[in-house]
Amino acid sequence: MNNLLNKRRTGVLLHITSLPGTYKQGDFGQEAYNFVNFLHDAGVTVWQTLPLGMPHADGSPYQCLSAHAGNPALIDIEYLVKHEWLKPSEHCEACQGTLAFNKTCLIEKALKGFLASASQSDNDDYAQFCQDKAFWLDDFALFMALRNVFNQQSWRLWPEPFKERHTTALCEARVRLASHIEQYKFEQYIFFRQWMALKHYANDHNVLLFGDIPIFVSYDSADVWANRKVFKLNKTGEMSVVAGVPPDYFSETGQRWGNPHYDWKYLTQTGFLWWIERMETQLEQFDILRIDHFRGLEAAWEIPENEATAQNGCWIKAPGKALLNAIKAKLGAIPLVAEDLGIITDDVVALRDDFNLPGMKILQFAFGSGSNNPYLPIHYEKNCVVYTGTHDNDTTLGWTHAINDYERNHAQDYLGHPSIPLHSALIQSALGSVANLAIIPMQDILELDTESRMNIPGTMVDNWKWRFQWNQLSHDKATHFAHLVTLYDRH
């Protein structure tokens, strides 16, 4: 276990898009710094976000256009004005749109300002960034430029020379689309520059940043287009099997994610280089990392591509131990958390424990069954992370309204807090448990109901949109939460 995870801490789960702010979603602007100040004042030392990648049209941060690139919609526009690369008068009505890339026109104008007036130091910094990130940035920027040329279609529908990455076609495209390629590189430079400034501020205020790595990547991504051998694809680049999970707590028909599976034989032969580079990118951005769907490193659910649901699939073994050993040999003892929810076998537990990784405990899963339920706090050990709920759960207040009487009576009997509301008792139970890290979603601190839920697994609309406002965080709520952090020795 990495030392960062070997002490009692409190964390808050809040995605960047859920921050308040002027634009249609939260970003790296002043409100992000205000949130760090709130965490610091409350004695909270961990801020957990969702993945920061570039989502597709559905907005899901778990289905992105790149495993490395950041989402330019998170860029703080005022930062560009402050550096005098963008004039306030250059804002336009289109910049306030609802699309994921609603800031593109402003960043394009900022690039012109940067090229015209940036200091030598900034120019050198930009050039160094492009050089350091070339192993993914060059293909990504070309991918995005071509995607724009071909009307945002998936790369599998592109003309053959570009789909198959013919050298002549790509060289010609790099010349013809040079200005667009530069734009995508500049966006990434600004994204990483702003995020790293925020990370530095958070760390200076004793707040660690906790990131999330989706185990799979989107089929329509720069990664799959540029690294087809890494994935299980046929000779024409099509998938015959897709990723997902079988029926479980979240869905009666399972979840058909549609991601490509890894060609683990090829990855093994290459020393897992693609995965190691991916981990390096994430470790630069975060202090702690969670591997989403960790059980997929032991065995992954393969669904025939032509199946509409995830019910008819099978488990296929993965070389998780060899992968984690390769990562450890290259990068050392990484502060990793294993998202070990769902169908967990003895082999998955053994893989997690072999590397001494903390798993996850969800209090909303604890009640309504017997005393051997692994999510009951009596079964916790220090090396785990406890949540009241995650981004995939209802808010805890919403959960208390939805459970049946048996579950409610069990929870009240177990928690033993008859004088406080059940949702408050769950927060206190999480913070008071032996788990080294207790994470509370911001919705639960604000005591919000189901309408503030972040995501409903298996659905494609109206997710990832929730935002909080500071007027929801009363002085009493902030003071009480800070009191609990101290009361349970998590400050």
Q: H or E segment at 278?
A: helix 273-285
Give yes or no for a contact between 259 and 217, defined as CB atoms under 8 angstroms apart: yes
Measured CA to CA, the distance from residue 135 to residue 188 in angstroms comes to: 14
Q: Encoding tokens for residue 318?
A: 């993965």
Measured CA to CA, the distance from residue 127 to residue 121 in angstroms comes to: 10
Which are the contacts of 355, defined by CB distance < 8 A and separation ≥ 6? 324, 328, 336
Residue 57 neighbours by CB distance under 10 Å: 10
What amino acid positions are annotated as catalytic residues? 292, 339, 392
* Distances 15 to 32, 49, 154 between C-alpha atoms, Å: 10, 4, 27
Measured CA to CA, the distance from residue 444 to residue 394 in angstroms comes to: 10
Measured CA to CA, the distance from residue 137 to residue 227 in angstroms comes to: 13
Q: H or E segment at 338?
A: strand 336-338
Handedness of CA 64, 66, 72, 75 (dihedral sign): positive
Q: Enumerate the β-bridge partners of residue 359.
A: 384
216: closest CA among 100, 392, 53? 53
Q: Enumerate the β-bridge partners of residue 303.
A: 242
Give yes or no for a contact between 355 and 336, defined as CB atoms under 8 angstroms apart: yes
